[in-house]
Structure 1
Amino acid sequence: MTEPTPPPPSRRERRAARTTAADPSATADSDLLADEFDVDRRKRRRVWLWVSIALVVLIGLGVGAWAANRLYTQAQDTRSHLLAAMPHVAEAKAAMLASDPAGAAAAAAAFREEALAAQKTSSGKLWDLVEGIPLPPMENLRAVSTVSDVAVDLADDVLMPASEVSITALAPSGGRMDVAALQSLADLVSGIVDGTEAADDRLGALDDGALIEQVRAGVRQVDAALDEIRAIAVPARDVLAVLPDALGASGPRQYLVMFQGNAEMRASGGGPGSFVLLKVEDGALSIVREAAATEFAFDIPQPVVPIDAETEALYSDIVARWVANLTGTPDFPTSAALARGWWSTLFADQVDGVISIDPIGLSYMLNATGPISLPTGDVLTSENAAPLLLNEAYFKYPDGVDSNRFFSAVSLSVFAALTGGNVQPLPMVAALTKATDEGRLKLWSANEQETALLGESRLSGRLPTTNDDESAVGVFFNDTTGSKMDYYVDATVGVTTDQCTAEAAPNWTTTVTLQNRVSAERARGLPRYITGPYFTPGEIGTDFIVYTPVGAKIESWTLNGNTYDAIAHTTHLGRDAVRINVILKPQETATFQVTMVGADGSTSADFAPPSVRHTPMVRETPVTIDAPGCE
């Protein structure tokens, strides 16, 4: 086998070989010199290496310090522009609600100018280079530039278009609504919602946990501004989507408007006093006919329309056999069905929806119309509407015929004022919102799309069917005196619960207090129409009905601290419910306390924060909720 050829000697090896051949004794010395030379050279190399590293580090530190200072300055400038921009959001919102398009446009333009400045200061080659480094700290730079970009989009896609919104289209004029203007408004608001949602998506993609507090605060500030706009725009979009058709854009609609009188309490608010059938066609509004509740049969042997077994078990079929009791259930769709049934006993009209309002809700609307002069010589104002319609009218018009004429004049005069063109849009929106929140304004529609839109909102007059958004306790009253004495009644409601801290099934204690405020002396001077024909003047009979949160059950109840027999204890609307009756003498108070517990196996995680739904009364009903651990 041939041995492999060795590699040729190196230049160093050849030089060493020549030296050894010339002077063999020099071999050791040359090796020593060579080693010393190599050591010295390696030392010099290490020194230059460390010098080079030091220079690089110093240069890097200098460049890094300059870059860091530059980026910090840019970030601070961006923050300043964004902070300067934010107040203009509130200015634009206020101007839009005040129907001031010029003011809204100016505020939007001012916001956009600051947003563009912020976008400019959060960009550049250095910023883009560092922002692109895939390290968590750089998320702060990405967040700052994202917020700046979102601010510009907010200006272009939301605030600038929103400045063109005018709520004057929501106010009728000359007896009609401009459905074409409403459709344009609907399209505009829908685009605004799309803009807020797109901006929200961009902010949501940021890694909140990687942000320093200052940057996180800035992100949340812009997010809060988006939430504020969305809180107005989303409900407006949903309503405007169906409003043109609801106002007869695709064909005539007829709505039965029911006026509830809180002086005779019912679970839904008050007994129906009068009805008006309203026709709407392509935005034009007109009254078809009206009827007082007294025009319907006083009592009928069978329900006017079928009611479900649970409703009958809790309230008896009296809610469907007496027109005055059709609002005796807190479920407004049931009341609407009963109202349509009663209307059909006198008239063959198509009813596409039912609207209910009480005098307190009406008084809110008078802030938008101003005082209304009645044919009777009375002047209806936001201050006197409730006392006049619920109490004083029965002194001035004690005869039933005269009182019916008075309330008819009120209905016609209010309709004329609401549709005549002098309504102030902003106060009207505020009035409708307040009346809805308090359960004084309710709407049922036969249209499935509109029913889906209403859902379980306050306007729908339905109790929530789950505990997902709120764990609602229900407290309702029905007058059993057959009088108008509830003008003198006040109530309070208190709920204590461990539902946010309980490890096992949570508990609730609901305490309801009802007070008869009239004195015996005052009661003796009241008209018979107010005191009623069945009780000693001044006495007030009332049913208390209390509902648990969905799925919970009632364990016990007391009246004034003592056990008390219930008229009914059953399930209704997916809840356990109890009903008792109390008769209060003048200036007496009754306290009804109900203890409740969640279903077996339930925990605090199954319940959203607690709330109370209750009968809207003449005066405010104070509600207190003691729920440790709940937000």
Structure 2
Amino acid sequence: MITIGVLRKKTNQDNSSRVHRTKDNRAKRKNTRLLLLVLVILLALTATIAGRSIVSDLLGVQKWLINGQDSLRSAYIAAEKGEFDKSQLNFEQAQNSFMDAGIIMSKPGVTMLAIVPVANSNLEAVRRLTEAGIEVAYAGEALTQASTKFSKKQGKFDISIDNGMVDIKPFIEAQPDIDRAHLHVLQAMAAFDKIPDGYLIPQIKSAKKRLGEELPTLKTLVSKAKVTFDVLPGVMGGEGKRRYFLAIQNNAELRATGGLIGNYGLLTVDNGAIKLDEFDEILAIDNPAKPIDAPEDFAARYSRFEGARIWSNVNMSPDFPTVSRVLLKFFESVRGEKLDGVITIDPVGLSYLLDAIGPLTLADTGVTIDSGNAVEWTLVKAYKDFPQRDTRKDFLADIAQAVWGRIITGQVADKSKLVEQFGLALSEKHMALYSTDESEQKIAESLGYAGELMPTTNDYLQVVMQNHGANKVDIYMHQEIKHTIDLRPDGSGLATLSIDISNKTPASGLPTYVTGENSLGAKGGLSNTWLSVYVPKGAQLLSAKLDGEAGVIEINREKDKTVFSRYVKVPPGANKVVELSYELPYVLVFDKSGIDYRFDWQAQPVINKPTVTSRVTLPDGFAISELPDGFARKGHNAAYSGTLSKDKSFDFGLIDNR
């Protein structure tokens, strides 16, 4: 019994201990849950604070990226205007902004987000955007460093020209800086290309889009600067004396490259020293005794006009490099001297230069010529006010020599603008350059300064008017060009073209030298135009009409183009409409990335810029994924309208949804 009593007592004690342990465990679990709850709350608070901090950091990155891109845009604009002090300040601001963005991106809280897939792609995008931005800023810094080699006037780029001498030393000294800028731009492009294509939040996607728009601008700017600085010392006689033929074209009597060559000059450049040795009317140079050797397609197209033998028709091809080679053979045949290149300019180009040079007054006549009246004086009033040929010839020569004299003596109102205006004249082909040095010529072509018939495998168009009436009425001629292309699923296309040519020559008040009284049939202001339409090789003509009536079209080949040609006679106050339709076997490009339609449209340098329209019609089931600048969506299709003063290239991205 005792034993039993003891056992019972022990059992009671055990039960009591269990009760106490259970209460203790419950208390501990309760405390643990409370502790966990506190920890969760603390973690949540910490995460919230950290999250807010990270969000704040990311918003800061966004702000610095936007600030950097805004500064870059301002820097480009200032650099293109020659305002290099302002450009340097903007590039420095851009560099600081991108570096601030880079500092934020290196914070631990931000880098921790890299383990989250969506966040990772966005962080990588921001990182690459920042990297590209810093490289761009370094490029800008190098460009502005290059600008310090040149003198400045009121913060603008100022070329040193004094008494016919251009100081080429700064161009040589600036070359390393330009090369450094070019390298940084390439590195920026490489960083940009590494930006992920996955899901990006709108702000980062927008930043990518903006930088993607800015980088090509900078690349073009720096590439042009690099090639210019690479070749300019040689072009300016830094590596030996150069001699150039200067051709002055008259757009009132159209030729393919701009106009009849009415005057010429011989330009000598030696280590920066520039001298106009000779300036006269083109008739002062004899024609070659016999036709010179010309390219086969040039001879086939233009031998009937003696294009390979007479100066007045040497520039009937729209390919200025070919014209220049033929012209230089002309000169060598007659004078026995090999020249180093050709420079051409017309009255429109002259007016562009006068915009920077400022007005000038001719000593003999007291006439003031400026950018606003240069074209009118050279192509209209000169014929009215100076009916005597010799007097008129001297007047036109005085204008050209006065402009030239102001340039080579440095008497230019705005030298930085002069560089800009040279670029404008060259881009519109109112000036063009040719060099017998192959490397220099390739650079001129890459810059768009060579006036070449564009070699391309894309869809292509150029409309060329030439005066075959031996009068001066083309200043009154206007064109309206309407182009359409119906694309097909198999890659072919049906093109139609309407060219409305109107003659607005006044009915009275013009001398007969302008309106024409000659054996070629152009009388009383009649326009006798030889019209040529350049299209892709392999194009098949389907129909040709003049004012709705079927007509005969001549089909030729020049370079890599098919050419449709015919004469169009337009009386004063009238218009004529030429309509063509032609088949294009291959105009769409199919590859793994999608479908492309590319269209190159070249301009002829004329007085009155043609008004143009283009309509691109897609096959059923196709859609536009990428629309080029200038075109607008018109339902299922796309349309463009404007004026054509420069060569244009359009690239469409298409999708086949069938």
CA–CA distance in 2 between the matches of 1:298 and 1:146?
A: 62
2:96 corresponds to 1:120: no
Other-structure match for 2:438: 448
Please tell me whether the aligned partners of residues 304 and 321 of structure 1 are also in contact (alpha carbons under 8 angstroms): yes
Please tell me whether the aligned partners of residues 250 and 282 of structure 1 are also in contact (alpha carbons under 8 angstroms): yes
Which one of the candidate residues 546, 558, 566 is aligned to 1:580? 566
2:285 corresponds to 1:325: no
Q: How big is the shift at 1:140?
A: 2.0
CA–CA distance in 1 between the matches of 2:363 and 2:171?
A: 34
Higher helix share: 1
Aligned length: 601
CA–CA distance in 1 between the matches of 2:484 and 2:381?
A: 38
2:100 corresponds to 1:106: no
Other-structure match for 1:507: 494
Q: Say which is worse superposed, 271-280 or 156-165, in terms of deviation.
A: 156-165
Q: How big is the shift at 1:132?
A: 4.5
The residue type equivalent to 2:486 in the other structure is D
The residue type equivalent to 1:496 in the other structure is T
Q: How big is the shift at 1:229?
A: 2.4
The residue type equivalent to 1:414 in the other structure is V
Please tell me whether the aligned partners of residues 612 and 623 of structure 1 are also in contact (alpha carbons under 8 angstroms): no
Q: How big is the shift at 1:587?
A: 1.4
Structure-2-length-normalised TM-score: 0.82
Please tell me whether the aligned partners of residues 320 and 453 of structure 2 are also in contact (alpha carbons under 8 angstroms): no
CA–CA distance in 2 between the matches of 1:299 and 1:204?
A: 56
Q: 1:225/1:574 Cα in 2 relative to 1: closer, same or farther (>3 Å)? A: closer
Where do 1:596-611 residues align within 5 Å? 596-599=582-585, 608-611=597-600
CA–CA distance in 1 between the matches of 2:113 and 2:351?
A: 58
Q: 1:330/1:606 Cα in 2 relative to 1: closer, same or farther (>3 Å)? A: farther
Q: 1:131/1:376 Cα in 2 relative to 1: closer, same or farther (>3 Å)? A: farther
CA–CA distance in 1 between the matches of 2:597 and 2:265?
A: 39
CA–CA distance in 1 between the matches of 2:77 and 2:561?
A: 42
CA–CA distance in 1 between the matches of 2:143 and 2:442?
A: 28
Which one of the candidate residues 451, 469, 483 is aligned to 1:461? 451
Which one of the candidate residues 198, 204, 211 is aligned to 1:222? 211
Structure-1-length-normalised TM-score: 0.85
Where do 1:303-452 residues align within 5 Å? 303-309=291-297, 311-313=299-301, 316=304, 318-377=306-365, 378-423=367-412, 424-452=414-442
Q: Say which is worse superposed, 479-488 or 396-405, in terms of deviation.
A: 396-405
CA–CA distance in 2 between the matches of 1:527 and 1:294?
A: 20
Q: How big is the shift at 1:601?
A: 8.9
Q: How big is the shift at 1:285?
A: 0.5
The residue type equivalent to 2:498 in the other structure is T
Q: How big is the shift at 1:502?
A: 4.9
2:60 corresponds to 1:77: yes
Q: How big is the shift at 1:276?
A: 0.8
Which one of the candidate residues 527, 552, 556 is aligned to 1:540? 527
Where do 1:11-22 residues align within 5 Å? none
Higher strand share: 2
Q: How big is the shift at 1:63?
A: 3.8
Q: 1:160/1:418 Cα in 2 relative to 1: closer, same or farther (>3 Å)? A: same
Q: 1:306/1:53 Cα in 2 relative to 1: closer, same or farther (>3 Å)? A: same
Q: 1:255/1:608 Cα in 2 relative to 1: closer, same or farther (>3 Å)? A: farther
Q: How big is the shift at 1:330?
A: 0.6
Q: 1:294/1:184 Cα in 2 relative to 1: closer, same or farther (>3 Å)? A: same
Q: CA-to-partner distance for each residue in 1:37-58, whole Å, 9 max, x for gaps?
A: xx99999999999888877765
Structure of greater relative contact order (alpha carbons < 8 Å, 6+ residues apart): 1
Please tell me whether the aligned partners of residues 298 and 317 of structure 2 are also in contact (alpha carbons under 8 angstroms): no
The residue type equivalent to 1:559 in the other structure is L
Q: 1:358/1:312 Cα in 2 relative to 1: closer, same or farther (>3 Å)? A: same
What SS class does the counterpart of residue 291 from structure 2 fall into? coil
CA–CA distance in 2 between the matches of 1:309 and 1:83?
A: 54
Q: How big is the shift at 1:437?
A: 2.6
Q: Structure 1: 5+ residue runs without aligned partners?
A: 1-22, 24-35
CA–CA distance in 2 between the matches of 1:311 and 1:397?
A: 37
Q: 1:436/1:482 Cα in 2 relative to 1: closer, same or farther (>3 Å)? A: same
Please tell me whether the aligned partners of residues 481 and 532 of structure 1 are also in contact (alpha carbons under 8 angstroms): no
What SS class does the counterpart of residue 542 from structure 1 fall into? strand
Please tell me whether the aligned partners of residues 159 and 416 of structure 2 are also in contact (alpha carbons under 8 angstroms): no
Which one of the candidate residues 257, 260, 265 is aligned to 1:276? 265
Which one of the candidate residues 61, 67, 70 is aligned to 1:87? 70
CA–CA distance in 2 between the matches of 1:532 and 1:170?
A: 48
Please tell me whether the aligned partners of residues 314 and 570 of structure 1 are also in contact (alpha carbons under 8 angstroms): no
Please tell me whether the aligned partners of residues 515 and 526 of structure 2 are also in contact (alpha carbons under 8 angstroms): no
Q: CA-to-partner distance for each residue in 1:187-239, whole Å, 9 max, x for gaps?
A: 32222222122122223212132321112222333343333322322212122
CA–CA distance in 1 between the matches of 2:540 and 2:460?
A: 13
Please tell me whether the aligned partners of residues 168 and 233 of structure 2 are also in contact (alpha carbons under 8 angstroms): yes
Which one of the candidate residues 195, 201, 214 is aligned to 1:206? 195
Q: How big is the shift at 1:592?
A: 1.0
Q: 1:160/1:282 Cα in 2 relative to 1: closer, same or farther (>3 Å)? A: closer
Q: How big is the shift at 1:79?
A: 2.0
Please tell me whether the aligned partners of residues 588 and 597 of structure 2 are also in contact (alpha carbons under 8 angstroms): no
What SS class does the counterpart of residue 259 from structure 1 fall into? strand
Other-structure match for 1:528: 513
Q: 1:456/1:271 Cα in 2 relative to 1: closer, same or farther (>3 Å)? A: farther
Q: CA-to-partner distance for each residue in 1:496-542, whole Å, 9 max, x for gaps?
A: 1134x6544112112112111124444xx523355242233222211
Q: How big is the shift at 1:288?
A: 2.3
Other-structure match for 1:595: 581
Please tell me whether the aligned partners of residues 169 and 182 of structure 1 are also in contact (alpha carbons under 8 angstroms): no
CA–CA distance in 1 between the matches of 2:373 and 2:497?
A: 34
